[in-house]
Amino acid sequence: MSETSKIEIEKCIFIVRKQKVTMDSDLARIYGVTTKKLNKAVKRNSERFQPDFMFQLSTTESENLRFQLGTSSGYGGRRYLPYVFTEHGAWMLGNILNSSTAIEASIQVVHSYIYEK
């Protein structure tokens, strides 16, 4: 991944519940899969995703995040509240998606969490 991609990843990191997190839809885009495929992989490997690795946003948190991002209609008309992943959860995704793109992207995501300002 290029330095530009690293900067783009850093823009996808937000603070929710006093934790740095990235939304499932952003990680899906970064890892080159659909959000649906990402979430299915997480469900198939649920034992790997402890509450400190990922959690589902509340309605209020989701609305606040949409407000911060300046979006009005949410993320593609989702029928459920989005999941967010901490650094460890984002790294775990790279392991379960098991593609060269996901592995490379997971390394960049972890670096982005470390160096994000």
Burial 14-36 (b: 16+ CB within 10 A, else e): bebeeebbbbbbbbbbbbebebe
Query: Looking at the 3D structure of the chain, how many domains does it have?
Result: 1
Render pLDDT for 34-66 as a digit per residue (tens, 0 to 9): 999 999 999 999 999 999 999 999 999 988 887
* Domain ranges, residue 84: 3-115
Mean pLDDT of 74-94: 82
Q: Could you tell me which residue, 15 or 77, shows the higher pLDDT?
A: 15
- Greatest mean pLDDT among 3-17, 31-45, 59-73 lies in 31-45
